[in-house]
Amino acid sequence: MYLPARLIIPALAVLLTACAQTQNKPVAVFSPAAEAELEQIRSAFNEGDYSTVIRQVGRSSTLPAAAPNQYSEALKLQAFSFCVREYTFLCEERFKQARAVDPGFTLAQAERGHPTWGPVYEKVAGAQP
């Protein structure tokens, strides 16, 4: 039995699509270890120890594997710390990274109005959908 090529090619495409493997990416879930580390970072930030915030977020192996909202909060505090230290480019990059990690990431209204990091965040938020 002969099947025309115009029927075989679409059928083959459907078959190959159905057989294609999806990339199994581990789903990040809430991490108590990341939360403990995040609490240390919050404490350092609230004490004005911005160097520790920058260093701890940058060196963490726990936070990148944590839930997106945990990691994005750490990146936010690192961004704030970079802004306060007048590293505007790095502040902007961390806001971009936080938005990439957690598409729902946004600053609270009071944070958006901050004179140091508010304009940097608004620039990033305006440049990305």
**What residue has token string 């108590």?**
32
Domains of the chain, each with CATH number or no CATH: 29-127 (1.25.40)
Residue 102: band (very low, low, confident or very high) from pLDDT cuts 50, 70, 90: very high
Q: Which of 97, 55, 59, 92 is nearest to 75 (CA)?
A: 97
Task: Provide the percentage of residues in the chain whose pLDDT is more than 70.
Answer: 76
Q: What are the tens digits of pLDDT across the range 27-84?
A: 567 889 999 999 999 999 999 999 999 999 999 999 999 999 999 999 999 999 999 9
Q: Which two tokens stand for residue 108?
A: 């609270």
Q: Does residue 14 carry a pLDDT above 70?
A: no
d(CA 8, CA 2): 10
d(CA 120, CA 2): 65
The structure's pTM equals 0.77
d(CA 118, CA 103): 18
Residue 2: the pLDDT is 59
Q: Are 119 and 113 in contact (CB under 8 A)?
A: no
Neighbour count for residue 86 (Cβ, 10 Å): 9
